[in-house]
Amino acid sequence: MPNNTPTLGFLLNDVARLFRKRFEQRAKHIGLTRAQWQTIAYLARCEGIHQKALAELLEISPISLMRVLDNLAERGLIERRPHETDRRITLLYTTESSRALLDDGRKFGDATRKDALENISDADRARLFEILEHMKSNLVTACRTPADKA
């Protein structure tokens, strides 16, 4: 008889996928893709970043990010400004419009987290975060060593 118990990796992936799906359901009427939401959110934390560095943070290729940025710029949600000393570099900034949307996005995120954590006690929530932070720390440390040497 096959073991149908999901592995930790599959379970974490499914929870993350469902988080994204529920967020997208809430935010659908605004008309932004998940990639656009994520780009605005990261950019808001890193105002004045250049495209290559933002692509690295988002873990996507600079070319893929370019399409997202073009769409956001067309909608007036980001602006590109020239670098003071290197004219090859364009710096990225959010606009007032995107910052207002981020407030909505935070509300959607809060509601989505509320859905996910419903009927889970405060103590269990705290323990869950503690365990996930510990797992993250373990993996950050492990990722510093090539897998073939581990």
Domain coordinates in residue numbering, the chain: 23-106
* Three-point CA angle 105, 106, 112, nearest 5°: 90
pLDDT of residue 150 exceeding 60, the answer is no
Q: Alpha-carbon distance 59 to 39, whole Å?
A: 11
| 84's tokens | 């003071």
Mean pLDDT for the chain?
92
State the alpha helices, DSSP H only, in the chain.
8-27, 34-45, 51-58, 62-74, 96-117, 122-143
Q: Does the domain made of 23-106 have the CATH classification 1.10.10.10?
A: yes
Structure confidence at residue 17 as a pLDDT band (50, 70, 90): very high
pLDDT of residue 149 exceeding 80, the answer is no
Report the predicted TM-score, pTM, of the whole model to 2 decimal places.
0.75
